[in-house]
Structure 1
Amino acid sequence: MRYRIALSSAVAVVALGIVGTVSGPDWDPVPLTETIEVESADTAIGGVEGADAVGTYEVATSVVTVELAGAVVEAQISEPVGAQGDRPGVVFVHGAGTGKFDVAFTQQAQALASAGIVAMVPNKRLDTYTTRTRDYNAMASDYLRSVELLRGLPGVDSDRVGVYGESEGSWIVPVMAADNPSVAFVVLVAAPVVPPRQQAAFAVDSYLRNTGVPEEVLRAVPRVVGMEFPGGGFEYGNFEVRPFQQRMRQPVLLVYGTGDAAMPTVQGALELVEDLSMAANPDWTVRYYEDANHGIKIGATLVPEFARDLVDWVQGLPETGDAEPRVAGAEPYQRFRADPVERPRWFAEGDLVVAALGACAVALLVGPVLWVVRRLRGRRQRALGRGILAPLVTMAAGAALTLVTLVAYLMSVAHLAQNYLTNPVLVQGGWLAVRLLGVVAVVAGVVLVYRVLDARRPGAEPAARTVTGEWTLATGVAGSAVLLLMLAYWGVFPPT
């Protein structure tokens, strides 16, 4: 009997593993074969004479109000004290993780202003910005209001006001700049270039690989990033910025940190340069800063060379727009391409996943609720046959606990990944624990099947002795089976 249970359990585990594998989509990112030629390790911007250096001036700040369509936001202006003549200006466009001028771009604005460049950091408009809904075209229109305000300030040269976009802001800035001569120049920092959904899949894959997760965990990348999330929304995940980049005719400075695992640092630069060539725009400069992170910082400190180069590039325009070397800094490395993400099949879309989880929860609660009701009514007789309750409870509780443990494991790994940490015991040991719990649930299910079959023999006690028992058995098995299939989809069971 034990041999039969062991063999059947092994077959069931493998079958679940195969179901999970073939249910798709699979994840097999394509290696990046293209390279970008770094001409010099020195990032200094050439062609600049007589420019003010960082730290030349004291900086004064003031807060202004920017009138938007249907809203107002505040913005902080950082100005050089005592600078003569009309000065260049820069408007900053927030990424996804920033929103307030008192915490975002503070070091960049200080560096620019101390070198004689007027910097403006508006607050992000939040009444139209949510996790589910973002309109990059509308956001571009809002930020252009700040550009117009800065162009009209005393001491600012209206013909030398540009925009600086970081991360998500690098999808907004090209919309602002396309066919728009009021934007004098463009600075793109940590620019994804590819659509948000592609960038998200690339970043998740890169982060997870850095933590050393098993290959089966990587299978979750397209199954999460590619799905339509419960309740809809997230249409901006398919936003294409390249048509706007192909209409930018301003000088462009593109900047990456080689320590930034979230961005396609080589592919992004190559595609941007290609787009600018389609716009007949020869004025581009690419810089890579060694070990710098997403915001071109090491730790919490802005890379001094980046501040120097940014100032020199802005002050030296238009001569610095195509100054040599065009590509300089540390050698970037990108292992895989950031390619389109395959959609999951219909049964794995967000709304259906949530509905299935809800149905499983209800199904697994039917038995306990009926047991309580029977107790309250004073009915003490057994609803299930002998030997049925233990494997049923073990299977149901095991499947539910495996799901909870899987979620906790993925959250723990995500924390490690986002903070560039490693923990082999948690990553490998945690995954082993998830799989062992799943196997326990499967073995309990196999035991239950054999005991139900034994109960069908002539003269044997039935598996369910009452209607309550029938409902308890049926809902417990159904809820557990669906949970096990869901766990198989997320790679809990090995296919071999």
Structure 2
Amino acid sequence: MPQTAQIPQVWGRGRRLMVSVPIFIILIGILVTVSNITAVPWNKEPTGQTIETLSPNTAVTFHNPTGTPLPGRGSYKVVSRHVTIKAKRPSTGEVQNIRVLIREPQGAPSGRPGVVFMHGAGYGTCDNSFGDVAFDLASAGFATAVPDKPVWSTGNVNRDYPGSAAAYDQIINYLRSLSSVDADNIGIYATSESTWISPYLLRMDRRIAFQVLLSPMVYSPRQSLGFMVAQDFALTGAHAGYQSIVRRLFHVDSSMLGLQNLDVPTQFDVGYSIPTFVAYGSKDVMTAQVDGVRKILDMAHHAGNWDITVRSYPVANHVLRLGDEADEGTALSDNYVTDMVNWSQGTVRGLKQTSERVAGTRIYQSIVVPSELAGDRPLTVYGVVLHIATVVLLLAAAITALIALGLKLRHMIRRQEGRTLGFARGFGNALLMLTVTTMATVVLFVAGLGQVIMAVVKLGWGGAPVEDPGMMYWSWPVIQIVCTLVVWAWSRVLTRVIEEASARGLAQLPPRTGELKAVVTGRKPVVASTRLGRVLFWITTVAMLHVLLFFAFWGLFIY
């Protein structure tokens, strides 16, 4: 008897739902598990720490037995000149020609003290850095040296801190070589990032007489930057989800990537073994001030040094300026320069300080320094592999889509018959819709994170937080909702694939005779009748699922 052709059975809504739900649960379970496994616990307690100052008056005074007034700002006219120093990087032998702007007090007696300035982050030069402070110190009788920042061939992420210390020491030795300067009375003026360099310098050169530290970063770069970014993300009003990105980011094992600076040791007792003037601004959103003061005092006392003066100035930002540092001509905090110059004058003369050691506005810190931060190698390996795979798959999907578009246009121009992709039963439209939705979610994620970063940068320059965080807050839950809906949509698409495969006899063991070949050749397609269509569908599907894994890595599936 002749065989009756088998008619594929169409699944009803109930059966499709019964298959879709388990697929959705499996997919969402995988993504939620990834988000929770990659989550990093972070102890922010105690919060709202303070140190009460001993006096609101920041003035620095000394007992002066002679009664002769000490030189102050404007006591001398200032003359300046440039010199060039060949700074050699010890680790590589690389040489950088560093221009140094020397300012000296005209008519001041010989044996004058000196100060070498050390740059914070960025690429400061001798002509655009520390001009006002260096001039004021020179007008008070100090020889000052402001160099180009020693960077050689390094960038912001691979600075050579010990090498930079050696370069600054060359400049100190140049000042010592001047007949008008007291070689044993030279100090340093370090700010922000350079306070990671100053401990190396003091360990290298024990003749340095004193130091002025603006917003010292005390802890390791990983801990200091982790504190700064976590605090600033919160201050901007960013959603807690964006804040959780910081935890994952600062648990990266940077040594795997050839970057050692995150964990470079910076906490040396010898770095605080000399008379030290520490200055903070109350609007500084980058420095852990309470923990910093405690750590500085602890290390100084271990080194046998009790000559530590701390000043906290109201309204001032990270570099002791009033207002947004991005604006040209932003003034320094009231009284700061006068206090710093007076402290330097009394210190180089060995006078006894009569003013309070800790003075100014109350010192405040919002969260504790995350001292538990450390590199997590398994997390880093997974993250690197995931991100590389996602980029590669997205590029492959984009290239395949461009090829398909090119063939489609050629068919249209030549009016050729035949289908370019031959998607079956709406798979093409579903693939396009889900791809556009998923990538639009990526754009929203990048836009939200970008807005948070811009707000953090503005805070760092001394700007005020916005009253309404807007996208920085609402974009995170929106992305979470869209991602969940996308996962459900993908489960429905995969259900349709299973339905079509089942109708072809591919979902049974063993597969129906001849059906596998018919599907592979496109004669009886499950997804598409052309090889290009099938390749595009599966590459794009896998790429989009990797995008969801990317979201899971950064915590978007923690509800």
TM-score (norm 2): 0.81
Q: Structure 1 pair 436/467, CA: closer, same or farther in 2 (3 Å)?
A: same
- Alpha-carbon contact 1:92-1:165 (below 8 Å) kept: yes
- Alpha-carbon contact 1:364-1:396 (below 8 Å) kept: no
Counterpart for residue 141 of structure 2: 116
SS in 1 for 2:367: coil
User: Of residues 239, 244, 259 in structure 2, which corresponds to 1:234?
Assistant: 259
CA distance in 2, matches of 1:417, 1:351: 25
Q: Structure 1 pair 20/135, CA: closer, same or farther in 2 (3 Å)?
A: same
- Alpha-carbon contact 2:87-2:170 (below 8 Å) kept: yes
- Alpha-carbon contact 2:283-2:314 (below 8 Å) kept: yes
Q: Structure 1 pair 146/301, CA: closer, same or farther in 2 (3 Å)?
A: same
Q: Structure 1 pair 48/436, CA: closer, same or farther in 2 (3 Å)?
A: farther
CA distance in 2, matches of 1:344, 1:449: 35
Please give the per-residue CA displacement for 1:310-366, whole angstroms capped at 9, x wherever unaligned: 111111015457654111111111122222324345354464244123222134236
- Alpha-carbon contact 1:189-1:295 (below 8 Å) kept: yes
- Alpha-carbon contact 1:178-1:248 (below 8 Å) kept: no
Alignment of 1:375-414 (within 5 A): 375=408, 376=410, 379-380=418-419, 382-414=421-453
Q: Specify every segment of 5 or more residues in structure 2 that has no aligned partner in the other structure, as ranges.
A: 1-12, 89-94, 324-329, 460-464, 505-523
Counterpart for residue 75 of structure 1: 100
- Which deviates more, 153-162 or 210-219? 153-162
Counterpart for residue 186 of structure 1: 211
CA distance in 2, matches of 1:226, 1:260: 25
Q: Does 1:473 find its partner at 2:543?
A: no
Cα deviation, residue 435, structure 1: 3.5
Cα deviation, residue 206, structure 1: 1.1
Cα deviation, residue 204, structure 1: 0.6
CA distance in 1, matches of 2:339, 2:63: 10
CA distance in 2, matches of 1:320, 1:345: 52
Alignment of 1:306-345 (within 5 A): 306-317=336-347, 319=350, 323-338=354-369, 339-344=371-376
Q: Structure 1 pair 381/261, CA: closer, same or farther in 2 (3 Å)?
A: closer
- Which deviates more, 336-345 or 148-157? 336-345
Counterpart for residue 164 of structure 1: 189
Alpha-carbon RMSD: 2.8
Q: Structure 1 pair 106/353, CA: closer, same or farther in 2 (3 Å)?
A: farther
Counterpart for residue 491 of structure 2: 446
Counterpart for residue 317 of structure 2: 293
CA distance in 2, matches of 1:51, 1:153: 23
User: Of residues 357, 360, 374 in structure 1, which corresponds to 2:393?
Assistant: 360
User: Of residues 482, 486, 490 in structure 1, which corresponds to 2:546?
Assistant: 482
CA distance in 2, matches of 1:20, 1:480: 17
Counterpart for residue 57 of structure 2: 42
Q: Structure 1 pair 82/366, CA: closer, same or farther in 2 (3 Å)?
A: closer
SS in 2 for 1:242: coil
SS in 2 for 1:168: helix
User: Of residues 113, 122, 127 in structure 2, which corresponds to 1:97?
Assistant: 122
Q: Structure 1 pair 304/345, CA: closer, same or farther in 2 (3 Å)?
A: same
- Which deviates more, 246-255 or 72-81? 246-255
CA distance in 2, matches of 1:469, 1:98: 51
Cα deviation, residue 225, structure 1: 2.5
Q: Does 1:213 find its partner at 2:238?
A: yes
Counterpart for residue 279 of structure 2: 255
Q: Does 1:31 find its partner at 2:62?
A: no
Alignment of 1:255-294 (within 5 A): 255-294=279-318
- Alpha-carbon contact 1:92-1:121 (below 8 Å) kept: yes
- Alpha-carbon contact 2:63-2:354 (below 8 Å) kept: no
Amino acid at match of 1:478: V
- Alpha-carbon contact 1:25-1:222 (below 8 Å) kept: yes
Counterpart for residue 197 of structure 1: 222
- Which deviates more, 468-477 or 104-113? 468-477
Cα deviation, residue 196, structure 1: 0.6
Amino acid at match of 1:316: G
Q: Specify every segment of 5 or more residues in structure 1 that has no aligned partner in the other structure, as ranges.
A: none
Counterpart for residue 520 of structure 2: none
- Which deviates more, 117-126 or 370-379? 370-379
SS in 2 for 1:177: helix
Cα deviation, residue 277, structure 1: 1.1
CA distance in 2, matches of 1:357, 1:211: 30
Please give the per-residue CA displacement for 1:177-223, whole angstroms capped at 9, x wherever unaligned: 22633211111111111001111111111111111111111110022
User: Of residues 458, 464, 476 in structure 2, which corresponds to 1:419?
Assistant: 458
Alignment of 1:11-22 (within 5 A): 11=25, 16-22=31-37
CA distance in 2, matches of 1:291, 1:370: 59
CA distance in 2, matches of 1:249, 1:67: 29
TM-score (norm 1): 0.91
Q: Structure 1 pair 185/4, CA: closer, same or farther in 2 (3 Å)?
A: same
CA distance in 2, matches of 1:149, 1:345: 44
Alignment of 1:449-464 (within 5 A): 449-458=494-503, 462-464=526-528
Identical columns (%): 27
- Which deviates more, 163-172 or 66-75? 66-75
SS in 2 for 1:219: helix
Cα deviation, residue 32, structure 1: 5.3
Cα deviation, residue 167, structure 1: 0.7
Amino acid at match of 2:339: D
Max Rg structure: 2
- Alpha-carbon contact 1:211-1:413 (below 8 Å) kept: yes
Q: Structure 1 pair 493/9, CA: closer, same or farther in 2 (3 Å)?
A: farther
Counterpart for residue 147 of structure 1: 172
- Alpha-carbon contact 2:250-2:374 (below 8 Å) kept: no
CA distance in 2, matches of 1:223, 1:363: 28
